[in-house]
Amino acid sequence: MLERLLLVEDEIVLRESLEQHLQHQDRFEVVAVDTLVGAHAKLDTEAFDLVLTDVWLPDGLGAELLAKIQSLPAPPLVIVISAFGSPESAVASLDQGAFDYVFKPFTHAQLEAVLHKAEDHAQLLKVTRFLSSRAARENDLGLLGVSPALEQLRQSLRQLARTEECVLVQGEIGAGKSLVARVLYEQGLRAAAPCLKLDCTRVPETDLEAELFGCETPLVRSSTPRRGPGRCELANGRTLLLEEVSALPSAAQARLLRLLQTKTLERLGGARPIPVNVRLIATTSRDLPALVNRGIFQEDLRLALSTAALRVPSLRERPPDIPFLAEHFRQFFARKHGLQVREFSAEGLAALQRYPWPGNVRELQTVIERAVLQNPPGPLEPADLNLPGPAGGPVKCNLLPPPPGDLLSEVEKRHIVTILTRCRGNRTHTAQRLGISLRTLRNKLRAYQRNGSVERGAWSVERGA
């Protein structure tokens, strides 16, 4: 957070001691001067994150330096040190813009405590500036964060959004695939027309083919008999978003491949090819190559979908973004619920950054909203976040060893069973915490039991229904 430090001190022994301590283990890049004129010259030509300055200097007072610093476009934090300090002078320095005041003599431990406070303050200040910056909001495509992984995703999004290519968006549950798909649509050439959306996990398998491609006559086995055009035909000239495309049954996969290859479709029970011009965006949280190896997904369709693919990084891969997202959610939910909730403490932020976030951004959002609703009197501490940890003991999921190769789906399964265990088998609460429908959760649990990848004693399938 704080990398470049300007040290302004005329006592040579103290200056060299502080310079050596601050540069220990390459923690800071330190520039040291011994006069007010030297400090002004450095501030005119170089940028600093922190200034550590004495009050009394050979050619003037540190107060003059404070005035100079406050006039800079991005002023660094200032810590004032003095051997002739008093409470009144400390207050005056703080009023002039100093972050903190240290009285001589002081130990390295005392200085470290002040530096840690400054780092925490700088981090929160950076978050606030980022969230309040209109330019940042216009350029981040709605994706909050500064991590290299997220910036790479933004660049890929800008390149693909203005094309007509089919795009496959991959990533873990809760990582933000729906947000990325929405950006692709909103920044695309067809944004003026409505986007049709279908979550393939929320439609019974017997109905999916008709829902997508339409049918000429009502289907006998369908739970909701229908005839007429399907989503693909209705999306002609528009954008079609297929969420969790890996849930498509084999027959629907074949029809979708034909549509991508020939730009035509046939309704169920019909023989007339119907030309369609659809921009397809598909999402999945499962490992498609692994599904291909298991015979569940067609390789030709995987290749057709993957012509232009985006991978949404998990929150574990974006640790610098956790403070930004947490602060964004804190402000959002405080406004939503009409509460005055204070910022995160240093320990609270550290706890958020230590947690592995198996549920990704969606889980972070849930954790922050729950903490805001508690409305603690002080800063948000680790106890207010109620994160699982060593104190709570390991969670027993009763999972059998995962099959090789299907790692992403196993991560999803383990997370679902973990949340279900924490909710003591209550599927309604589990679905709410996961951010999915109760029907989707039931289908997933039944699938896990059918393929024998979870012991039947792991939970009661009827409990909490």
β-pairing verdict for 50-54 and 77-82 = parallel
- Check residues 435 and 302 and name the one with the higher pLDDT: 302
Residue 356: its pLDDT value, please?
92
- What's the rounded Cα separation, in Å, for the pair 74 and 76? 6
Tens digit of pLDDT for each residue in 70-91? 888 778 889 988 776 666 666 7
CA distance 237 to 240: 10
Say whether pLDDT at 462 is over 50: no
* Run of H or E residues at 271: none
What domains lie within the chain, and their CATH numbers? Answer: 4-132 (3.40.50.2300), 147-218+227-311 (3.40.50.300), 321-385 (1.10.8.60), 388-465 (1.10.10)
- Kindly indicate the confidence band of residue 400, based on its pLDDT and cuts at 50, 70 and 90: very low
Paired tokens of 131: 């969230």
Least confident of 72-86, 291-305, 369-383: 72-86
Residues 6+ positions from 152 with CB-CB distance below 8 Å? none
- 346-367 residue pLDDT tens: 889 889 989 999 999 999 999 9
Q: What is the DSSP letter of 294?
A: T
Residue 394 pLDDT grade (very low, low, confident, very high; cuts 50, 70, 90): very low
Does residue 435 surpass a pLDDT of 80? no
Helices 321-337 and 360-374 cross at an angle (nearest 10°) of 50
pLDDT score recorded for residue 127: 63
- Does position 403 have pLDDT exceeding 50, yes or no? no
Whole-number average pLDDT of the chain: 81
pLDDT of residue 412: 76
Q: What is the mean pLDDT of residues 270-298?
A: 92
Q: Which two tokens stand for residue 160?
A: 């693909």
Q: In this predicted structure, what is the pLDDT of residue 136? A: 42
Average pLDDT over residues 39-53: 88
pLDDT (0 to 100) of residue 128: 57
The reply to whether the predicted model has a pTM over 0.75 is no
76-90, 152-166, 282-296, 332-346: segment of lowest average pLDDT? 76-90
- pLDDT tens digit string along 105-129? 888 888 888 888 888 777 776 665 5
Average pLDDT over residues 220-244: 80
**Is residue 132 pLDDT above 60, yes or no?**
no
418 vs 361, more confident: 361
> Could you tell me the CA-to-CA distances from 4 to 7, 46, 95, 128, 181 in Å, in that order?
10, 10, 24, 21, 39
φ, ψ for residue 103, nearest 5 deg:
-90, 135
- Cβ atoms of 188 and 279 within 8 Å: the answer is yes
Spatial separation of the C-alpha atoms in residues 169 and 176, rounded to whole Å: 10
Give yes or no for residue 416 having a pLDDT over 90: no
Yes or no: say if 329 and 368 are a contact pair by the CB < 8 Å rule. yes
Using DSSP, how many helices (H) and how many strands (E) does the chain show? 20, 14
Q: Is the pLDDT of residue 135 over 60?
A: no
The long-range contacts involving 416-423, CB below 8 angstroms and separated by at least 24 positions, are 416/441, 416/444, 416/445, 417/448, 417/454, 417/458, 417/459, 418/358, 419/359, 420/445, 420/459, 421/395, 421/396, 421/397, 421/458, 421/459, 422/388, 422/395, 423/464
Tokens of 227: 């005839």
- Which amino acid is residue 38, in one-letter code? G
> What is the residue-wise DSSP string for 7-29?
EE---HHHHHHHHHHHTGGG--E
Range 317-325 average pLDDT = 90
Confidence of residue 103 (pLDDT cuts 50, 70, 90): confident
